[in-house]
Chains A and B, each alone.
Chain A
């Protein structure tokens, strides 16, 4: 079955420190990969995507993610965390086998950045 895993329910990091939010996927072929952020009672905001090309993808608000095909991972990173980065982060994948644009989401990781 095709799936996305975010192994950490919550990640805590001090402001100014680097952060990593992990994501691994299990799909056949070369998927499209996405990261979204959600603030309380709001919809999802697009952060970045990997379709093809350079494995290191840079996105909004200083976030980046690295596509690692051998490890089937797409971890989200930021060199220096801000308190305002505290939110819920979702990794999502569109398997290439899908003939629609629907996404498979991970369970989400809550990022807490402490001052």
Chain B
């Protein structure tokens, strides 16, 4: 199969602190991973495309200094929410593509971030 592990599943942090979310492809290598944000009762909004060994590609309107993405290996991408504020509270989901034609896109289980 194609498994993507996302950690932590839930995190609560204080305003002004930074939070790191990890996304790992467990049984395949992923040169590209995707980070989405989901607001309550809304669809997924693509934030950025994480590229192994190079800079991430951010979607329009997403602050790259706010949401730092690092894709240091073929199995790990991290999203760091810097100087978090309550409006950053959301559900963050990563995805990776092992073999689109066979598996489709595989998603992590998501991270619920609450900034207090």
Give the complex CA separation of A100 and B104 in angstroms: 14
Count of B interface residues, CB-CB < 8 Å:
27
Cβ A90 vs Cβ B34 within 8 A: no
User: Does B107 count as interface, using CB distance less than 8 angstroms?
Assistant: yes
Count of A interface residues, CB-CB < 8 Å:
22
Residues of B within 8 A of A94 (CB): 100
Cβ B100 vs Cβ A32 within 8 A: yes
Cβ A101 vs Cβ B109 within 8 A: no
Partner-binding segment picked from B14-22, B41-49, B61-69, B78-86: B41-49
Question: How many residue-residue contacts, CB under 8 A, span A and B?
Answer: 57
A90-B97 contact given A34-B105, A43-B110, A102-B34, CB 8 Å threshold: no
Main secondary structure of the interface of B (DSSP, over half): strand
Chain A residues 28-50 with CB under 8 Å of chain B are: 32, 34, 36, 41-46, 49
User: Does A106 count as interface, using CB distance less than 8 angstroms?
Assistant: yes
Cβ B107 vs Cβ A103 within 8 A: no
Nearest residue (CB) in A for B57 is A100
Cβ A34 vs Cβ B104 within 8 A: yes
Q: CB < 8 Å: which of A32, A36, A43 contacts B109? A: A43
Give the complex CA separation of A38 and B107 in angstroms: 10
Cβ B42 vs Cβ A108 within 8 A: yes
Cβ B104 vs Cβ A49 within 8 A: yes
Cβ B106 vs Cβ A101 within 8 A: no
Scoring A residues 85 to 115 as 1 if CB is less than 8 Å from chain B, else 0, what string do you get?
A: 0000010101000001111011110000000
Greatest chain B CB density within 10 A among A36, A41, A43, A102 is at: A43
A-B contact pairs, 20 of them (CB 8 A): A34-B105, A41-B91, A41-B112, A43-B6, A43-B107, A44-B107, A46-B105, A46-B107, A94-B100, A100-B49, A101-B32, A101-B34, A101-B97, A101-B105, A102-B34, A102-B49, A103-B105, A105-B44, A107-B42, A108-B43
13 more A-B contacts (CB under 8 A) besides A36-B107, A90-B43, A101-B100? A41-B112, A43-B93, A43-B109, A44-B95, A44-B107, A46-B106, A49-B104, A94-B100, A101-B97, A102-B34, A103-B105, A106-B43, A108-B43
